[in-house]
A and B are shown apart, each in its own frame.
Chain A
């Protein structure tokens, strides 16, 4: 489904991604973790070309992400992306936030798109907020709307870039709940997150990244109880406190 082939990226002198060679199968849930500044966000952002890469290839389905002749918009419409800062459109109501791209990109009628938006809002438990504006919602609610907005494009893959890091602690649960539900429905997901509980319950595999290199890839049960790489061992003991 998603494949990294020898992916490298530099910010000037700084080597942010080093020889990443990984695969994600259809229906798999991968949690990416690692110390801050390790390149987790950069890695996930290369998948829909929010960040270009300098060497190597990334394949999503059969499409080469960095193929300059292919439409980047087609690629992106098939990859749901959820941001740390939600990035809802503040000038649009909740239902219009969700309906905007289907109308604009998939040329759906507005009515069709809004009907679909209501179904998705039902799924994330926010039908009653359909006409509210983002500023009237809590952080957790905003993030759930952002997930619904990404789902509205029917992407086969969802990427989450630290979806709960900007939330107050009491709102983390509601967002993780929605993500778990998605995983149970068989969505292919890559999540950059520090929520180790989520990783343990939902992930098929955990990738551990440090200094731009994927140092360990193992099932969560192994990763949390018996990490192999010394950096991973230190990371685990650090987050345990």
Chain B
């Protein structure tokens, strides 16, 4: 296993970079971060639309979410692969295609997480803001959304971990991310599939585990700030403390 790592470690990390396109874990992470950053505004818009008092907006968002939830991600990737060049008139790289597919997919799922967080806030928050004369818009941007996003940080990080894992599907349309790297190593070695895929599993695990820990650290920081520095820290299971309203 170590000899595989020493021989192909670099390929797994960055693909053919700097002599060729970026690949490996680096590409996986770049795609994941890009997908998350682009999916976030889409998801926020979907969440706000789903809680909108205007029926048409509400319904349009519901159709989108229901449609995406009813389709496997792989199908969306295939669709993006064939449809995107037709629509844009440009050939898009496999990685860009997958990022687009992930944005469509995660826009719906992340959107639902954010919607749940919006709806979980006590109604008194909206009432208090509106009673002060604040508009719907200010109430959303200053009072509701900041709290909702904080409360759904854990589920957002969870979605991010799912994105990282879902980028592995990109190898099917030829994006040279880490699964693709592992696959080509396996094709060269032929005799060591167990070791190669064990290394691949290890890489995914380390990345996702680190992200989960990072999520927890961020969460603790914010909770501590709200409750005052002296408290918190002890019970990891109660990390999702919602400040009383």
Q: Which residues of A contact B (CB under 8 A)?
A: 48, 50, 73-79, 81, 83, 85-91, 100-101, 104-105, 132-136, 146, 149-150, 153
Is the Cβ of B226 less than 8 Å from the Cβ of A153? no
Q: Which residues of B contact A (CB under 8 A)?
A: 122, 124-125, 127-135, 138, 142-143, 146-147, 150, 225-228, 243-245
Q: How far is the CA of A51 from the CA of B70 in the complex (A)?
A: 39
Distance to closest chain A CB from B62 (angstroms) = 26
B243 in complex: contacting residue of A83, A90, A105, CB < 8 Å: A90
Is the Cβ of A149 less than 8 Å from the Cβ of B132? yes
A85 in complex: contacting residue of B122, B129, B147, B226, CB < 8 Å: B122
Q: Which residue of A lies closest to B133 (CB)?
A: A77
Interfacial chain A residues near B128, Cβ < 8 Å = 81, 83, 87-89, 146
Interface centre among A74, A100, A104, A105 (most CB of B within 10 A): A104
Interfacial chain A residues near B146, Cβ < 8 Å = 91
Q: How far is the CA of A105 from the CA of B134 in the complex (A)?
A: 6
Interfacial chain A residues near B227, Cβ < 8 Å = 133, 135-136
Q: Which residue of A lies closest to B124 (CB)?
A: A87
Is the Cβ of B243 less than 8 Å from the Cβ of A135? yes
Is the Cβ of B142 less than 8 Å from the Cβ of A90? no
Interfacial chain B residues near A88, Cβ < 8 Å = 128, 245
Tell me the interface secondary structure of chain B in the complex.
Answer: helix
Which 3 pairs, one residue from A and one from B, show the smallest C-beta to C-beta distance? A77-B133, A90-B243, A87-B128
What are 24 A-B residue pairs whose CB atoms fall within 8 Å in the complex? A48-B131, A50-B127, A50-B130, A75-B133, A76-B132, A76-B133, A77-B133, A78-B133, A85-B124, A85-B245, A86-B245, A87-B125, A89-B125, A89-B128, A91-B226, A100-B143, A104-B134, A105-B138, A133-B226, A134-B244, A135-B226, A135-B228, A153-B132, A153-B133
Is the Cβ of B228 less than 8 Å from the Cβ of A136? yes
Is the Cβ of A87 less than 8 Å from the Cβ of B133? no
Please give 18 more A-B residue pairs, beta carbons under 8 A apart, in addition to A91-B243, A104-B134.
Answer: A76-B131, A76-B133, A77-B133, A81-B128, A81-B132, A85-B124, A87-B122, A87-B125, A87-B128, A90-B244, A91-B147, A100-B132, A100-B143, A133-B227, A135-B226, A136-B227, A146-B128, A150-B131
Q: How far is the CA of A133 from the CA of B223 in the complex (A)?
A: 11
Is the Cβ of B228 less than 8 Å from the Cβ of A81? no
Is the Cβ of A134 less than 8 Å from the Cβ of B243? yes
